[in-house]
Amino acid sequence: MPNLLIRRALVLELCDYLRPALAARSEPYAQGVKCARTVPNPRPSRLVQFANRGGYRVNASFSKSLIDVNVWAALGDELEADNLAALVTALLEQINTPVIADVQVTTYPQDVAADDGQPRRFVRLTVTHRAMPA
């Protein structure tokens, strides 16, 4: 039987990388940030939410996926939203794990209208990831 390669849960891999990377930072807006695939109810004051929008196989070993990233900051703090989104983007651009080979920012942080007063920024990434042995 040939070796089976699987494509792991990319969003979980991104969260597993980002949580400790943010926790290790000294900036106050990097503390207590939750990472998730879905938006919990109630939404935390600081949240990074990843959504895999699909992708394609490059070859037997690599695939590319389009990942949407939403970053929420404390209620009414636009500067915190800008700073947190910039930090999250910079950390993700540096990622290199056994699964994630490369991250390209397709859309740098942009404002998203917030009806509830909690500022949100949107980032879009193209992530190259490796298939791993089963």
**By the 8 A CB rule, do 62 and 128 touch?**
yes
Beta bridge partners of 64: 56, 128
The predicted pLDDT at position 2 comes to 54
Q: Is the pTM of this model over 0.85?
A: yes
**By the 8 A CB rule, do 17 and 97 touch?**
yes
CATH assignment at residue 121 = 3.30.2000.10
The count of domains in the chain is 1
Mean pLDDT by 10 residues, the chain (134 residues): 63 94 96 95 94 91 94 91 97 93 96 87 96 78
Domain housing 113: 5-133
The predicted pLDDT at position 1 comes to 46
**By the 8 A CB rule, do 11 and 50 touch?**
yes
